[in-house]
Amino acid sequence: MDKFVVEGGARLEGRVSVGGSKNAALPIMVASMLSDGQSTLRNVPALKDIKTLSKLMEILGSQITYSDGVMTLTTPEFKDFEAPYDLVKTMRASVYVLGPLLARHKKAKVSLPGGCAWGPRPIDLHLKGFEALGAQVTLDAGYILAEADQLVGTDIHLDLPSVGATGNLMMAATGAKGTTRILNAAQEPEMPALADYLISMGASIEGGGTSEIVIEGGKPLHGAEHRVIPDRIEAGTFLVGAAMTQGDVTVTGCDPDHLRATIAKLQAVGAQVDVGEDWVRVRSTSKPKGLRLTTEYYPGFPTDLQAQFMAMATVSEGVSVITEEIYRDRFSHVPELNRLGADIKLTENIAVVEGQPHLSAAHVMATDLRASAALILAGLVAKGETHISRVYHIDRGYERIEKKIAELGGVVRREDEPLVT
Ligand code: UD1
């Protein structure tokens, strides 16, 4: 198993480009299964989650090639309709296959994803939505079985603007008879990206990126070409790294419009932020100030950057208060940051962080994808060498992160960590 060794004391400086968005690529790959034609996706990041989903789709009948960010996908017919536990447990986004399987194959069986390192993550809104579209949904031995001879369009009001439910139902609705309106839909940039791809496949969709998406189902769909949008979370991770190391980093190939809440928080802590058409530069010459931050649905501050901003707060001037409203248990990084000398007190979903002059290196454990990124950032401002175990989490969502940080002057080494038995 790999670990990272992070040398503290670097000031991140220079230019770094971001890759395609994992969370945009995953549903779009799955959506290609709605037609039997070939789709070509560009700017697909080389990540473990992408490989996991490819594997699952190949089991279901897709033929996939991938080279240098370009992926071709064809699903002439379905060979199977079951997403097995072994794959779903490593990646929750596997539940996205429910939508296209139901729409085109009329039947889907997907293992329940269960909880994860940061609490229960239900999919009840996906299932209620499928039922509203006329599917019979049953649960058996840890599997969801959904069936429908013909989905029928209807109004679906989501109790919460869930990204996964919005994407899944949008895909299913392209195969439904008549009109579906998804109300209180998620507005995260990955959703209008999915709508754009579906439209280029021949679907009729209006309102992607708003809270009301209208899908006219039943249009014949074909393969399409699509470029995956830049990863706003990867971009935000490097930008916060610049602010907390008092550095000067220009993130290129990003969409600044998707980073508005992040940029506002970086300005609030005193960093200078310049924005171009597809780049953002963050400069700082003094310690960041403490901040108040609450995670929210888009366009609010993203939960996927909460851990990285908390890493910054550990070395900020004064006290920060960070409230997690999307996943109220998403704090597995807190004990690890405290091992590095941070002073974080957690009460329910509110973390109070007393900024320290510096952190001190230690052995810590990556517990999930974004927590791992937070630990790398913390390691960069800790005195000494921080050892981070279980970095397989980070390989799920960040491409070559150690190389990109090295390009900015930070030292992160990947080393083999023998298993102790
Ligand atoms: C997606 C992202 C993830 C991000 C999250 C929130 C992908 C692959 N993952 O996850 O990185 O952290 O959005 O921006 O894109 N909920 C329910 N019932 C449901 C579905 C969701 O109660 O059926 C709740 C969740 O518990 C959570 C909130 O809704 O509190 C948002 O979850 P959701 O937007 O669905 O997240 P994901 O799509 O799983």
Distance set, CA 340 to CA 9, 141, 153, 359, 374 (Å): 14, 42, 53, 6, 12
Whether 160 lines ligand 1, by a CB cut-off of 6 Å, is: yes
Q: Is the pLDDT of residue 116 over 60?
A: no
The CATH number given to 2-19+230-416 is 3.65.10.10
Q: Is the pLDDT of residue 118 over 60?
A: no
Give yes or no on whether 2-19+230-416 and 22-227 have one common fold: yes
pLDDT bin (cut points 50, 70, 90) of residue 114 is: low
Distance 92 CA to ligand 1 centre (A): 10
**Phi, psi (rounded to 5 degrees) for 336:** -70, -40
The pTM is what? Answer: 0.96
Residue nearest to atom 3 of ligand 1 (CA): 304
How do residues 332-391 score in pLDDT, each as one tens digit?
999 999 999 999 999 999 999 999 999 999 999 988 899 999 999 999 999 999 999 988
How do residues 157-213 score in pLDDT, each as one tens digit?
999 999 999 999 999 999 999 999 999 999 999 999 999 999 999 999 999 999 999
pLDDT bin (cut points 50, 70, 90) of residue 418 is: confident
Return the domain boundaries, the chain: 2-19+230-416, 22-227
Distance 398 CA to ligand 1 centre (A): 19
Instruction: Specify the residue for token string 């064809």.
Output: 74
Whether 146 lines ligand 1, by a CB cut-off of 6 Å, is: no
Q: Please, which residues have CB within 8 angstroms of residue 200's CB and are 6 or more apart in sequence?
A: 224, 225, 226
Is 254 a residue of the active site?
no
Instruction: Specify the residue for token string 């038995």.
Output: 421
Q: Domain 22-227 is of which CATH architecture?
A: Alpha-beta prism (3.65)
